[in-house]
Each structure stands twice: as C-alpha cells, then as structure tokens.
Amino acid sequence: MREPSKAIENLATLLQGSTAKPVLVPSRLPPSAIYDLQYRVAVICLVFEAFAKAQGESNERKISSARMKLLQFASIRPWLLPAIQEWSEESGQAPLNLSYSTRIRRGFLSDTAYDDVMNFLEACTVFVREGAQIALGPKGEEVRKIVGQIQDQELFLSEREAIAVLADIKITNNMLEGW
C-alpha cells in the first residue's frame, strides 16, 4: 500500500517561520470530486456491489432506489456516519427541526448529481429500474469490472471504509420514508 503524501504538512512547516502570505485564486481551484462523473459512477458501483441482494429464487441482484441513494450519499460523506447511526436508532419522536434525520434526508433527497448519474448509467444500460428497485442491465458486467479495478488499485479507501461501516447500520423504512 502506498504511503500518503506529507506534502501539505511539509509545506506548512516550511511556511510557518516565513513571512510568506498565501494567495488563493478561486478560478484555479479544482471543482469538487463530488460532482465528477467517474467518481460518482465508481461509488455507485461500490454501493451496488456491497448492498444489492438476490430477490426470491432469482439470482438477479437488486437494491431499492431510495436505499441506493442514501447509501451512496453517506459513502461520499464519511463524516456523516455517526449521524446516520444515530438516525437509524431514532424512534421517530425527535423534534423534526432539531434531529439529524431531517437534515440528512434533505441532503440526500436533493442530491441531483446522483439522479443525473443514475440516468446516465440507465441510458448506458448498466442499470435498469424495475419499479422502485435498481438491477443490473445488459451491460451490468461493467459494475464488477469497475469494482475489481478499484480494489486492485486500492482506490477510494475512505468510501470503501464508509461502506463497510454502513453495512453494520440498519437502514430503516423510517429513514427512507417519503419515497
């Protein structure tokens, strides 16, 4: 496994004793990875592989659309995991304006980037919607290829760790309510 770069820490140490003043040029800042198509595709594939289950006697694996959206939302934002855990244990009686549930629900429901990426993946026939479920489409083998490459190259470690934590959190119907 590669060692994480200490470039920022080294730069901070060098600049700490100097009179240099950092200049921030907003036009040169890269856009957030959260809006990157390839990043979103990778996370969606990881979530599908981890959480899709075989339905009935069929070997075809599916996942609820609402569950997929929530799980990918939390996987991209691992700092939300304690709040997701607390929300999972919530009785539903907490004051709505103060509880995590309302704020997280607003966040994942308004995640239009996810909706756009899923529409793209459906147009590419990687996934198909079957009512409220998402299943692999004719080109569904791409999901396993992407996940295999991610694992082989040890990419997206924080997202994969978040997915492992999410596997131990019960996603309740109350959390997915309103779908």
Q: How far apart are CA 131 and CA 7, in angstroms?
A: 48
Q: How far apart are CA 65 and CA 135, in angstroms?
A: 10
Q: How far apart are CA 31 and CA 95, in angstroms?
A: 36
- Residues 167/71, Cβ–Cβ less than 8 Å: no
- Residues 43/76, Cβ–Cβ less than 8 Å: yes
Instruction: Report the predicted TM-score, pTM, of the whole model to 2 decimal places.
Output: 0.78
Q: Across the chain, what does the average pLDDT equal?
A: 85
What percent of the chain is modeled with pLDDT above 90? 53
Task: Quote the pLDDT of residue 96.
Answer: 46
- Residues 14-44 have pLDDT tens digits of 888 788 777 777 777 777 788 899 999 999 9
Task: Quote the pLDDT of residue 1.
Answer: 45
- Residues 91-143 have pLDDT tens digits of 655 544 445 556 676 677 777 889 999 999 999 999 999 999 999 999 999 99
Task: Quote the pLDDT of residue 167.
Answer: 97
